[in-house]
Amino acid sequence: MINWGAFLLVALVSLVSAGALVTIYASGLRLLAVDGRPRAAVVGAYACFTVCALGVLFGIYLIVPALHAS
């Protein structure tokens, strides 16, 4: 009656994607907070933010049906 497979899939995917987004964004923030702000850390931080931005863009892609017309 209830589609447990789909439910588990949803739970798992949300867990992984939210976890990944938060991990990457938080890593970026942590890298910015490294003492003395070495160049590598700043570059790494912005790389993290870029990945997050891509994640948000993927979210928009999923929201707008015209982009993934079936």
Partner 1 sequence: MDLTLIVVLVILLAVFFDFTNGFHDTANAMATPIATGAMRPRVAVTVAALLNLVGAFLSTEVAKTISGGIIREGPGGVEITPTMIFAGLIGAVIWNMITWLRGLPSSSSHALFGGLIGAALVGAGTNSVDFGVVLSKVVLPALLAPLVAGLVGFLATRLAYRITRRPVGKNQRGGFRVGQIFTSSLVALAHGTNDAQKTMGVITLALIAGGFLGSGANPPFWVILVCALAIALGTYTGGWRIIQTMGGGLTDIKATQGFSAEASTAATVLASSHLGFALSTTQVSSGSIIGAGLGRRGSTIQWGTAGKIVIAWFITLPAAGLVGAACELIARIGVVGLVIDAVLGAGVIVGIFVASRRKPHEQSNALEVDVAMNSVLTRSERRSLLKKRGDELLAERRRMSDESSLFELGAEEEVR
Residues that bind partner 1 (CB under 8 A): 1-3, 6-7, 9-11, 13-15, 17-19, 21-23, 25-30, 32-33, 35, 37, 49, 52-53, 56, 59-60, 62-66
Cβ at position 38, least distance to partner 1 in Å: 14
Cβ at position 16, least distance to partner 1 in Å: 8
DSSP annotation of 69 reads -
First to last CA, the chain: 27
Residue identified by tokens 């570059």 is: 43
The C-alpha angle 63, 47, 14, rounded to 5 degrees, equals 35
Cβ at position 44, least distance to partner 1 in Å: 13
